[in-house]
């Protein structure tokens, strides 16, 4: 069987049996896949710290449908800046779990790969701010085709006017002629999210406190709609955010 050389992020890992590990990977070349790392728990020699969550690695594996076999892995970066701060760890784990939950298996997503790299680099530099997380989320949803319509009503197609939009269950945005109830989404929020999509860089869009609350509500709803399960890292993220407030 041919040995493939790939670049990847480790999204998560779990123990298997006495000495093995199953690793969820997001590769540049093949998108998300699962790898079987034989002996990874017993011997540090072959894999070292390369299979830790959000490590960026070069890896060698035999590609198979369902479960590939890892032959070796070398660390590109462990993002030690993230690992030294609880808030950054929580954001990093959340980013990886979001990618793991939303991306289909075996489909390359090079734009998403670059976005995850940029976000982890941002976290690694000591920034673990809420606006960056929201910027990451709207871009993830956009790349995967899940983002709510920001330009016009998702039902009748008319552009949003000065009244903005009404959010329906599942984060759908519609105009006031297509729905009579729903959370009011002012034009400022739509504009803010469009700016997050237009700029390719973290830290470029300023989101004030008031705007952030509304942006967060919209994105939480959209993310929850498209994730088939509740994200484990979300509770950890909430806990560390609360600690940061006190």
Looking at the Cβ atoms of 180 and 206, the one nearer to Zn ion is 180
Residues of the shown chain interacting with Zn ion in the complex, contacts defined by CB under 5 A: 153, 155-156, 175, 178
Q: How far is the CB of 156 from Zn ion (least distance, A)?
A: 3
Phi, psi angle pair for 178, to nearest 5°: -90, -15
- Gap between the Cα atoms of 115 and 104, Å rounded: 17
Nearer to Zn ion, 67 or 156 (CB): 156
Q: How far is the CB of 186 from Zn ion (least distance, A)?
A: 17
How far apart are CB 193 and Zn ion at their closest, in Å? 18
Least distance to Zn ion from the beta carbon of 154, Å? Answer: 8
- The nearest distance, CB 148 to Zn ion, in angstroms, is 13
Angle, CA 215 vertex, CA 214 and CA 217 arms, to 5°: 65
Instruction: Choose between 127 and 154: whose C-beta lies nearer to Zn ion.
Output: 154
DSSP label at residue 243: H
| Class of residue 231 by CB neighbours under 10 A (exposed 0-12, middle 13-18, buried 19+) | middle
Q: Which is closer to Zn ion, CB of 155 or CB of 194? A: 155
For residue 206, what is the DSSP state? -
The one-character DSSP state at 169 is G
Separation CA 105–CA 41 (nearest Å): 25
The CA distance from 87 to 242, in Å, is 10
Query: Of 34 and 176, which CB lies nearer to Zn ion in the complex structure?
Result: 176
């Amino acid at each position: 069987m041919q040995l493939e050389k790939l670049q990847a992020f480790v999204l998560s890992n779990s123990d298997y049996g006495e000495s093995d590990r199953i690793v969820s990977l997001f590769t540049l070349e093949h998108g998300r896949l699962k790898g079987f790392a034989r002996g990874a728990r017993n011997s540090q020699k072959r894999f070292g710290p390369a299979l830790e969550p959000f490590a960026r690695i070069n890896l060698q594996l035999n590609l198979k449908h369902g479960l590939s076999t890892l032959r070796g892995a070398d660390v590109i970066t462990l993002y030690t800046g993230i690992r030294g701060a609880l808030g950054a760890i929580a954001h990093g784990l959340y980013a990886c779990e979001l990618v793991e939950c939303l991306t289909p298996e075996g489909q390359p997503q090079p734009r998403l790969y670059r976005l995850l790299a940029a976000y982890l680099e941002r976290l690694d530099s000591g920034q673990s701010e809420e606006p960056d997380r929201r910027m990451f989320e709207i871009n993830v949803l956009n790349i995967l085709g899940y983002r709510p319509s920001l330009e016009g009503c998702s039902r009748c197609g008319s552009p949003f006017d000065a009244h903005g939009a009404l959010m329906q269950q599942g984060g759908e945005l519609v105009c006031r002629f297509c729905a009579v109830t729903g959370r009011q989404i002012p034009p400022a929020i739509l504009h803010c999210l469009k700016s997050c999509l237009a700029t390719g860089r973290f830290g470029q869009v300023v989101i004030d406190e008031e705007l952030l609350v509304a942006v967060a509500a919209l994105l939480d709803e959209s993310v929850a709609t498209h994730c088939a399960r509740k994200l484990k890292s979300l509770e950890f993220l909430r806990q560390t955010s609360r600690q940061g407030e006190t």
